[in-house]
Structure 1
Amino acid sequence: MSVLSILEKLERMHKSLLELAHKKTDIIKANDIEALDELIKTEQAHVAAINTLEQQRQLMVTDYLRAKGIAYTDTPTVAELIDAIDSEEEKQQLITTRERLLALLTELKVRNDLNQKLVYQSLQIINIQLEPFRPQRSDSFNYSGDEVRGQSNQSKVTYYDSQA
């Protein structure tokens, strides 16, 4: 298995994750909590697979760079690999696949941000709907016991005097 094949698998997994993110938008709009729960489980499986592929990619890039005697960062990147490859054909394939993957990641981030905003708005609507059912607070009562004994909190004002 090559780094290119891992990148292509990562691309497929991210495309699938993006499709799930689009479905999630529709589910959030429909307020279908059960479907959202199922979709989140599927997303978690995708993320786990992506993490496994990413670990494989890092290991392969590390091995390649180490074999060529090239210094690399703690987490070797595809860009470092591209710089190290001699074959122009392989280099171009990696560049193209990397660009497609980066575009997918950007689109996925935008969609996830939208979904997060939709969930936040849904929660705000729920809070507004629940507001009439919440008990009303009254500032005229103090249940700490001070008012009952005739002591007012206002008479307990203290002043702090400090000297340097």
Structure 2
Amino acid sequence: MQALIQTIQLLIKLHLSLLQLAKQKTELVKQNDIQQLTQLLKDEQRHVAAIQQQEKLRQTQAHQLTQKEAATISDCLHIANETDKATLQALQEELLQLITELKDINHLNQQMLHQSLQYVNMSLSVMTPQEQNVTYNNPANKKTTQKSNRTLFDSQA
């Protein structure tokens, strides 16, 4: 049981560190610092890999304790003694709180990135020249639409 508690404590530390990275990511997105954001994403991937490894270890330890295939912390609470039960319950609540906060911050970051992408697309559509017909064309004589050779910067004068 102590090994499981230590694994969950390590998971909490890793999630706290990942939460700090998510908060830094929010600031970097606000500042539009692409180089730092790229480095932070690499660090974030390492953290996620470490969390996945610890989560597999937690699942293995929980399986050994409960003999259930997909044992959860709640399953381990049923077989724990009173002191371990209190510790496990506190750790479970802390981990759930961290995961919820991490989801919220990641959702905010996703919305900010989506808005930035919309702004870039809108800016490109404003800068891209629109093809306009200045003369009358009979709609019955309309041929298949031809793709315009115009680019973002029209070099013809």
TM-score interval (norm. to shorter): 0.7 to 0.9
Partner residue in 2 for 1:41: 42
Partner residue in 2 for 1:76: 71
Partner residue in 1 for 2:155: none
Identity of aligned residues (%): 36
Partner residue in 1 for 2:154: none
Moved >3 Å (runs of 4+): 137-145
Deviations for 1:66-116, whole angstroms, at most 9, x for unmatched residues? 2xxxxx3x421010011122x100010000011001000000000000000
Partner residue in 1 for 2:90: 96
Larger Rg computed on CA atoms: 1
Residues 10 and 142 (structure 1 numbering): CA distance in 2 closer, same or farther, change over 3 Å?
farther
**Contiguous gaps of at least 5 residues in structure 2:** 147-157
2: CA distance, partners of 1:109 / 1:137: 44
Give matches, 1:7-156, under 5 Å: 7-66=8-67, 72=68, 74-85=69-80, 87-137=81-131, 142-143=143-144
Deviation at 1:142, TM superposition (A): 3.6
Partner residue in 1 for 2:152: none
2: CA distance, partners of 1:28 / 1:5: 35
Residues 129 and 77 (structure 1 numbering): CA distance in 2 closer, same or farther, change over 3 Å?
same
Partner residue in 2 for 1:160: none
Q: How many residues align?
A: 138
Deviation at 1:138, TM superposition (A): 5.8
2: CA distance, partners of 1:137 / 1:22: 44
2: CA distance, partners of 1:137 / 1:42: 46
Deviation at 1:134, TM superposition (A): 2.5
Deviations for 1:20-78, whole angstroms, at most 9, x for unmatched residues? 00000000001111111110000000000000000000000101112xxxxx3x42101
